[in-house]
Structure 1
């Protein structure tokens, strides 16, 4: 019989159709290569484990009615590598022994080999046990080829970064439903050559300690030979088949990021990605922010525990049934300046990605220019109407930080900086209209800089937009006559 180390238990079968001895009958399980050789002893009055080899202490059992039913099978819990050997099932009356069965047990090292290509976004190290684990189950992922390197710890029903090696910080994750499903697999993001080696998944469940081993191999992604052949083919022949052109285009277009620009304050922006129709029904589509890494959106027809980052909650959506249509475009509402960056769309299936695309998003900041000496300048911000009545609008100079203006329906103690007293105003009832534009009178050259409009509610900001103001001094006015100078003194808004 064969079993992997780390399994819950294994049953060593032994059936007897005859009659047991009338005097002092007993069922014996033994291993001749051990001293003492007793694995388990069942007598008429119950188990007698006084002579049991301590290696099996607390791990064996035989049915209490075995002498009546003839079922002398042995249950061996938490099989270990050292349990491998020859087992004998026999019955005795204390004077004579009748051997009923000899069997060979081979306990294999639970080792799974996983290969990951260079440049992959992530890899899954599998580890599974029977479902419905106790709530106090603890799972530790460690390196088996290094001195006590903690890769990931799950304890107290949550992922625990305590004592995690810095090399794995923010790169590992386990599903929140692991106790229910028994899937203790570890997701390792952005694997490198340094991650190659052995990993141990250790499960502390009640009094049992189960271990499974995974070996990760990092391989270089080969440049497809068909691409080289196709390049030569394209040079030699003016016409190629449509199918080859499709694959050629798909391969190289996946390497070229799409650039998307949107103005700060727009209602939404679309991150485009269209691929082949009728993708596998069990595929999973993930949109991920690359740097800093944040999970933006996940689409999966089956229940999935991948957690969306809070920055993107209630701001993202995809078209209906993207796997069928092949349109994996992501719509991001209320784009913010901090949303600028690289986004990657990954299509995963059974631990491997089958499609990927990068999109570079730029959320342009509003820029306003005005000449020193103008009567006023407007810093334009318009957002959704009917903001909460208890919200507070704050205009703040960013660097150096100065409080420019505060609007709040309730009395507020926030103090306006002296540089802006009697020089700022907002339109009437901005919370209702959504027009948070700030008018700054008598702009000075030292007013130049970044201004932020923050909408706060109960200690958290719910909106944030920036305006970059440039106040040009009179010394910067170019030559060109009186008429040109008058034109340059007029406010210019650049969006």
Structure 2
């Protein structure tokens, strides 16, 4: 009778390793079956030979014995409560990680047979999204976000602007955007790019400087008052009379240029207008009428 029991046990031991491919975050039941009816005090052990300690899970008839369990498997393994009564010795492994790729061995220990190796299960855990795909996704997100930011703040980075209006409009806004707060004592100077290089508007020491403004632009310009806040250094010009390029330049207290941007103003519908070399005059059969900004 004893020889028959040993023969039955040896038949169950002759199982070979099987390979299984899974993904990060999955759960999997590592299969292992063995007839335990002839055993008196069996203990089933799941282990990995390349770990220290090697124990992945251990169970006796009284319940789990996890004192020697490897820390990386804490809270991720379980077996059926009646495993050693039914012979269903499979191990449930949850939240699979890349480091779980290995060969797992199911063994049984008992006073009558000693320790016997029942089966090996080889797991290969793969990334659900490969590293290159994650990097590509991050790059695409960064490109989309940075593209959106650049579009939203495009006026802050442009070195020049183009503005077009119809002849006869009351006023036009010449845009100029600053990226950072301007230091105390900074000066903003608007110039036109005619042969005269006239000062269109000057703002310094928290106030306009009309005495520095060319006579041609007297009463025709207006700027926002707070230069300590980053953003708008735009100039309102009333009325726009000629197609012209205007330059917005910001200087620090020492006179060094902090920022310089150009605005090309196109006044559509002009006809037969030209400048004389006398400042503030144009010739089209009449004089230019200008008004002040309140």
RCO greater where, 1 or 2, for CA within 8 Å and sep 6 or more?
A: 2
Larger Rg: 2
TM-score by length of 1: 0.30
- Larger strand proportion of the pair: 1
TM-score by length of 2: 0.45
